[in-house]
């Protein structure tokens, strides 16, 4: 097998993200949907019938979800092409496996991003070992996936990821790890090399801020205004985080 694809390929998935999770009617979802029940917008071909109109139809939550390729891996590899519609016996296991595989693939994405950092060369060997181990865990059966201690594995890998981040950011960056920065006015702020790991930046004003080499691992950027911000070399910023923010087309 070649390099693992860590982005969604909906054409090779059985629409798992449209069935497995529950939706609560809110600003993110226009309807209530129980877990394990297909969204009313899911077509017979497992594709979303309103994909181009999700925001207009009130499904913002769908636009910011990213399975990191977990959906197609479960469909094509773990369950060998089976799907929950034609084989109801596998439905429960498929739906239960999605959040587990998604976390594994998200962790793989972070490791792959860390391996791109030249400054983190001293920990590249450990990163490659971690990547191989996560890939191996993902090869397990549905029962084996269910028994994984994901928290313990994530903690172990996060130690290496944080070290890679520190090497890439250098000294002097501000530490906002886990900070409550909801609605904070940070327009034009000098935040180069800052750590926003796990920070709540909902609705924060980061327009024109210097965010070069800042670390956004797990940061909540819903509604954060990044227009005009310098995101050059930004660390661990996912596509879903960008979609949740106000960017005006400004991407790293």
Indicate whether 5 belongs to any domain. no
Same domain, 144 and 96: yes
Q: What is the mean pLDDT of the chain?
A: 95
* Per-residue pLDDT band at 249 (split at 50, 70, 90): low
Q: Give CA angle at 198 (192, 204), nearest 5°.
A: 65
Percent of the chain with pLDDT over 70: 98
Instruction: Look at residue 221 and tell me if it is in a domain.
Output: yes
Amino acid 145: pLDDT: 98
Residues 156 and 226 in one domain: no
Above 70 in pLDDT, residue 251?
Answer: no
* 159 in the same domain as 39: yes
Above 60 in pLDDT, residue 75?
yes
In a shared domain, residues 160 and 178: no
Q: What value does the mean pLDDT take over residues 82-94?
A: 94
* SS3 letters across the chain: CCCCCCCCCHHHCCCHHHCCCCECCCCCCCCCECCCCCCCCECCCCCECCHHHCCCCCCHHHHCCCCCCHHHHHHHHHCCCCCCCCCHHHHHHHHHHHHHHHHHHHHHHHHHHHHCCHHHHHHHHHHHHHHHHHHHHHCCCHHHHHCCCHHHHHHHHHHHHHHHHHHHHCCCCCECCCCECCCCECCCCECCCCECCCCECCCCECCCCECCCCECCCCECCCCECCCCECCCCECCCHHHHHHCECCCCCC
Residue 196's CATH number: 2.160.20.80
At 185-207, the pLDDT tens digits run 999 999 999 999 999 999 999 99
The whole domain housing 246 covers 170-252
pLDDT at 38 over 90: yes
Domain end position, chosen among 147, 168, 189 = 168
State the total domains in the chain.
Answer: 2
List the one residue out of 154, 156, 173 whose CA is nearest residue 215: 173
pLDDT of residue 242: 96
- Whether residues 174 and 99 fall in one domain: no
| Residue where a domain stops, chosen among 115, 142, 168 | 168
Instruction: Look at residue 193 in the predicted model and tell me its pLDDT.
Output: 98
| In a shared domain, residues 226 and 154 | no
In a domain, 190, yes or no: yes
Residue 15 has pLDDT above 70, yes or no: yes
Residue 3 lies in a domain: no
Same domain, 149 and 69: yes
Name which of 155, 152, 66, 168 is nearest 114 in CA terms. 168
Domain boundary among 145, 168, 191: 168
Same domain, yes or no: 195 and 99: no
Q: Distance between CA atoms of 107 and 247, rounded to whole angstroms?
A: 25
pTM: 0.94
pLDDT band at 248 (very low <50, low <70, confident <90, very high): confident
**Interatomic CA distance for residues 194 and 109, integer angstroms:** 21
pLDDT above 90 for 1: no
1 vs 158: which has the higher pLDDT: 158
Q: Are residues 97 and 62 in the same domain?
A: yes
């Amino acid at each position: 097998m070649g390099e693992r694809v860590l982005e969604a390929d909906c054409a090779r998935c059985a629409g798992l993200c449209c069935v497995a999770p529950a939706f609560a009617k809110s600003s993110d979802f226009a309807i209530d949907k129980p877990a394990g029940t297909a969204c009313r917008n899911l077509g017979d071909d497992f594709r979303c019938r309103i994909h181009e109109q999700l925001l207009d139809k009130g499904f913002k939550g769908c636009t910011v979800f990213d399975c990191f390729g977990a959906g197609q891996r479960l469909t094509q590899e773990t369950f060998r092409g089976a799907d929950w519609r034609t084989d109801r016996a596998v439905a429960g296991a498929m739906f239960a496996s999605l959040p587990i595989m998604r976390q594994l693939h998200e962790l793989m994405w972070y490791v792959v991003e860390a391996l791109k950092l030249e400054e983190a060369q001293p920990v590249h060997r450990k990163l490659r070992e971690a990547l191989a181990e996560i890939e191996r865990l993902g090869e397990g059966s549905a029962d084996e996936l269910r028994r994984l201690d994901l928290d313990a594995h994530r903690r172990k890998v996060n130690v290496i990821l944080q070290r890679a981040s520190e090497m890439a950011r250098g000294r002097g960056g501000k530490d906002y790890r886990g900070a409550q920065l909801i609605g904070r006015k940070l327009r034009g702020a000098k935040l180069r090399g800052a750590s926003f790991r796990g920070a709540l930046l909902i609705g924060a004003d980061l327009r024109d801020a210097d965010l070069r080499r800042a670390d956004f691992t797990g940061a909540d950027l819903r509604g954060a205004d990044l227009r005009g911000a310098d995101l050059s070399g930004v660390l661990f910023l996912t596509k879903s985080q960008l979609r949740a923010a106000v960017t005006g087309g400004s991407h790293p």
